[in-house]
Chains A and B, each alone.
Chain A
Amino acid sequence: MKSWLTPFLVLALAGAAFLLFPYNLAFLTRILIMILLVLSLDLVLGFAGIATLGQAAMYGTGAYAAGLFAVHASGNPLAGLLVGAFAGAALALVSGLLLMRTRGLTLIMLTIAVASLCLEAANQLRGLTGGADGLRGIRMQPVLGLFPFDFAGQTGYWYALSVTVLVFAGLAVLTRSAFGLSLRGIHESPARMAAIGVSVYWRQVAAYTIGGGIAGIAGALAAQITQLVSLESYSFTISAEALIMLILGGAGRLYGAVIGTVIFMVVHHVAAANDPFNWLFVIGALVLFVVFLVPNGLVSLPLAVTRLWKGARHARA
């Protein structure tokens, strides 16, 4: 397949979604924000192999940072995004200095602990964050001074789409670089990376920090577009759902993060509308299907089907 064809198709789909579902733009925007978060998780977990269930820590911190910046400093969206990215990266760097010294289950537990600490801190600092009532009073200026946020969410959608596309392109460059190759190496065999002279620890801290910055951007977008930050942004559910989306789509592939998020969110949306009590059953069945039949995620489904088809023809011949 031509290298420009896939991005072109995906962008065309994003454009078509805008035209086809004009009353669901808030939902579509929510998907884009989750794609950003899952992309950040893909870099950290899918590429660098850092087991984490606490990506919400950086997401929430980005959201609160951008929200507070908008309330107290400036409603400039792009400046707010930078603040969110910086806050997410800073938290990832500081916590990463400790976290990247651990492995496996310990690491997973500690990532959950960091997110829980953030949640509790945001809950206690009521004067600053609004506590359980959420952070209110976010007023955004027009994007680039040209596009004011509208009630239908059109600006929000295009704004989120532009940011997602830029981050995706940045990650595409990053994951193909020498740095990206070294992250895949660490994922495959940390001992070998040390043996070729790499300080695995610092390389993982770097990856975790970049991932934290992207998660911070996702949180900042959420804060700016919904103009509200709630304690939910730090919730374990967000970290866990992001992980499920990544596994569904295919970890270690950027398009895997996109596909997994879109499918999870759409299935969730449709199933929950049909049966508000048992929608989780559909998600569970989907995850089982993927884990057993397409373990490399739905992004590898076309390849798996092609192989099956060729295999069947070989068997008949």
Chain B
Amino acid sequence: MQGLEVRGLSKRFGGLTVSENIDFDLPPGARKALIGPNGAGKSTFANLVTGILRPSSGEIRFDGSDIGGLDEPRRVKLGIAKTFQITTLFRKLTVRENLRLPILEREKRGYSMFARAGSSPETEAEVADLLEQFELTAFADRPVGLLAYGQQRLVEMAMTLALRPRVLILDEPAAGVPSSETHLIVNAIERLPKDLAVLIIEHDMDLVFRVARSIVVLVAGRILTEGTPAQISADPKVRELYLGKSHG
């Protein structure tokens, strides 16, 4: 099968089970959201998929081959990339340099020691395209640490996209972004390549309902239910458990 397949995935920290028997598919072109109350194990799940954490049991397959034993850099090279919940950008480097880095690494030029980092016209053209796509051209030569928070999240997404992933996991792309700037994030998500498999982990329900075509609800490490946004918002169990609190 194409894309990401998760079967019977569990993760225990000592006696604490944070993910339990999760089955999950993310085919190319998917726009799935993973929601759930705090401590439901959403970030743990993302970290298991990207290889930051190792599962206690279960399988993770990508395009049919088992990737459970690969570390994070190897999975990135296969095309599974994740943005961070809290931005961990290269704050003192400029936006341009932040975008240049993942492209150079993707092209395996990380050990190139003689040519200037910005000397390849192809790389620079790609950087310019990304700047354009995320409306960051005006800030290209500013240190990322000086940008508004919403723009930092855009740099975050642009950087991850620069890896040309086939699976993109957005971990709370709108966390900490003022509501006046969330449209930037929504626009950027809507403009992602059509065949890219996207998983969004998010608290902001408005954003989830605007961009996701399918929603998975995670509670206490288990999948409670999965369905379209309409099904999820009509589901009484979900309303009681999760939406009830924030949507009254």
B163–A179 contact, CB under 8 A? no
The complex places the Cα of A215 from the Cα of B46 at a distance, in Å, of 43
Measured between C-beta atoms, what is the minimum distance from A263 to chain B in Å? 24
Residue of B nearest to A174 (CB): B113
Beyond A188-B92, A189-B89, A197-B163, is A178–B112 a contact (Cβ under 8 Å)? yes
B89–A182 contact, CB under 8 A? no
Measured between C-beta atoms, what is the minimum distance from A217 to chain B in Å? 17
Beyond A178-B115, A180-B117, A196-B76, is A191–B88 a contact (Cβ under 8 Å)? yes
Per-position contact with A for B181-208: 1 when CB-CB < 8 Å, else 0? 0000000000000000000000000000
CB neighbours of A198 from chain B (8 A): 73, 105, 110
B89–A197 contact, CB under 8 A? no
Beyond A174-B113, A195-B72, A198-B73, is A185–B93 a contact (Cβ under 8 Å)? yes
Beyond A195-B81, A195-B82, A197-B76, is A182–B92 a contact (Cβ under 8 Å)? no
Among candidates B76, B104, B159, residue contacting A181 with C-beta atoms closer than 8 Å = B104
Beyond A174-B113, A179-B112, is A199–B73 a contact (Cβ under 8 Å)? yes
CB neighbours of A174 from chain B (8 A): 113-114
> Which chain B residues numbered 89 to 133 have a C-beta less than 8 Å away from chain A?
89-93, 97, 100-102, 104-106, 109-117
Among candidates A177, A182, A184, A206, residue contacting B105 with C-beta atoms closer than 8 Å = A182
CB neighbours of B109 from chain A (8 A): 178
Determine if A192 is an interface residue (Cβ-Cβ < 8 Å): yes
A182–B88 contact, CB under 8 A? no
Given contacts A179-B113, A195-B81, 8 further A-B contacts (CB under 8 A): A177-B113, A177-B114, A177-B116, A184-B90, A189-B88, A189-B91, A195-B82, A196-B162
The complex places the Cα of A185 from the Cα of B73 at a distance, in Å, of 15
CB neighbours of B113 from chain A (8 A): 173-174, 177-180
> Can you list 30 residue pairs at the A/B interface with Cβ under 8 Å?
A174-B114, A177-B112, A177-B113, A178-B111, A178-B117, A179-B112, A181-B97, A181-B100, A181-B104, A182-B105, A185-B93, A188-B90, A188-B91, A189-B90, A192-B84, A194-B72, A194-B73, A195-B76, A195-B82, A195-B88, A195-B160, A196-B76, A196-B102, A196-B162, A196-B163, A197-B76, A197-B77, A198-B73, A198-B105, A198-B110
